[in-house]
Amino acid sequence: MSPDKIPNRIFIKLLLGFWLCSSIIIAAVGLLPLLQQKHDRAPLPQHLENLLSRQANRISEEPKLLEQQNLRRLNHRRNFKGKPVRLYLVDDQGRVMNTDKVSRGLRRFMLMADEVDQPISHQFKNELLFGPYNFDVLGRQYSLFGRLADHHPRPWFFFFAENKLLTLGLAITLSGLLCGLLAWHLGRPLRTLKLSANALANGDLTCRVDDETTNRKDEIGQLAQAFNSMADSVENMVNSQQRLISDISHELRTPLTRLQLALALSRKKGHESAEISRIGYEAELLEKMIAELLELSKVKLNANESKRHLGLAETLGQVLDDAEFEAEQQQKKLLIDISEEIELPLYPRPLSRAIENLLRNAIRYSNSSVSIQTIEAQSKVMIEIIDDGPGIEDEKDLKAIFKPFYRPQSARERESGGWGLGLAIAEAAILAHQGQISAENIQPHGLKITINLPTI
């Protein structure tokens, strides 16, 4: 069956889920009166019928017991299987003959039995009433009722029938639980899809939806499979693009090397002119740009390197020494505050290159000082690089400066001969660590670069 002909399983799940939930609640509430009615009109048990039958036979055999002075003998309590039992004699006018004190429960039971028109038993909270047993004495009809005066727990459903507000609350709670279970069943894989999509958007091209979600037999499973297929295509295209850039950069180096060799031979022969000097200068710039393109490609492809658990200060040691020396040459101060105890999984070379680019950029545009410091937080390390330079005038450029070949029209780029690849290399290296990098202006002036790296 083609995917287009497969029934909408999400629709079916939602329909069945809500239908089942509402049906259970309606059935439970609707059955309570029926259960109560069935229990109220339960047939008279045989042992209780035998009890009434023996007493009726006794009265039939001794009609004098119906005389007023002898009725008190019927009013006495008797024992039935160790429990006190009391009998009530009713004439054909519905009057109780052997007592003047008729309880409300007995009256209620007599009306209930009259409606049913057959012997029944009914269990109240503290007593069990049963009857009637009809018999004739001297041409008149009489009925016997019995009461077992003992604590008889009522069925559990009577509690709900008598406490309607509580029953309503329980029904709402039960429906909430069932709907919550359905929502969890549908929402959990959607959250997984969201996390995978966010990871892919943040540069983790290897992230995929887990097998549990892709193996589902509904539209969510089909969506997860489509997402993984899309992620495979995106990863292949991005990697192909980076390999293409790397291959082109390598190929450009061959004619560039020949050009530089030709310039060197020309100068050796004494052919020096302003044009030749300009060609040599542009060739050097082209060589540097190709080198940075290759570096960007390597960082994004993360070629031939695996993560290692290393100390941050040790990894950046050489980079920090070089940056400190460069700052001294420009009569500027570099403040370093990196704890020796910080360790985390990292790619040493890409991270070192990223910090080097950021520090050199900060030193170049600072007025007098640059600082680099680390802050440990829960499951991450934050690295801050702060300079006291002019910052970036246009706030829109703060996010765009990490794009390849992007050069903001600000004080930071007025004297720059770069191509906007240094910060792109830094961002690619941080994303390879599943980290984040951002820039913000600080007051009264300066720029702060913040890097967040996971420690697990």
The region, left, alpha or beta by phi > 0 then psi within -120 to 50, assigned to residue 203 is left
Q: 267 with 225, same domain?
A: yes
Name residue 372's beta-bridge partners: 336, 385
Q: 229 with 356, same domain?
A: no
Q: 289 with 317, same domain?
A: no
Kindly report the CATH number assigned to the domain that includes residue 287. Answer: 1.10.287.130
Residue 192 domain-assigned? Answer: no
Residue 396 domain-assigned? Answer: yes
Among 154, 179, 201, which residue terminates a domain? 154
Q: 139 with 230, same domain?
A: no
Kindly report the CATH number assigned to the domain that includes residue 56. Answer: 3.30.450.210
* Active-site residue list: 250
Q: 318 with 421, same domain?
A: yes
Give the containing element (helix H, strand E) for 244. helix 219-268
In sequence order, which residues have a C-beta less than 8 Å from that of residue 358 and are 6 or more positions away?
A: 385, 423, 426, 449
Residue 8 domain-assigned? Answer: no
Q: 263 with 328, same domain?
A: no
> Domain tally for the chain?
3
Q: 325 with 446, same domain?
A: yes
Q: What is the pLDDT along the chain (456 residues), one digit of tens a residue?
A: 444 444 556 667 677 777 777 777 777 666 666 665 555 567 888 888 888 898 899 888 888 888 877 776 665 556 666 677 888 899 988 888 888 888 888 888 888 888 887 888 887 767 888 999 999 988 889 999 998 876 555 565 566 666 667 777 777 787 778 777 777 877 888 888 888 998 888 777 788 998 888 888 878 888 899 999 998 998 888 777 777 777 777 777 778 788 888 888 887 887 778 888 888 877 877 777 777 777 777 776 664 456 788 899 999 999 999 999 999 999 999 999 998 889 898 888 888 989 998 999 899 889 999 999 999 888 899 999 999 988 887 777 787 888 877 766 554 444 455 556 788 888 888 888 888 899 999 888 889 999 999 887
Among 301, 319, 338, which residue terminates a domain? 301
Residue 255's domain spans which residues?
219-301
Give CB contacts under 8 A, 24+ apart, made by 273-278. Answer: none
The region, left, alpha or beta by phi > 0 then psi within -120 to 50, assigned to residue 151 is beta
pTM more than 0.85:
no
With contact defined as beta carbons under 8 Å apart, do 358 and 383 qualify? no
Residue 164 domain-assigned? Answer: no
Is beta strand 333-337 parallel, antiparallel or unpaired with respect to 369-377?
A: parallel
Residue 35 domain-assigned? Answer: no
Residue 13 domain-assigned? Answer: no
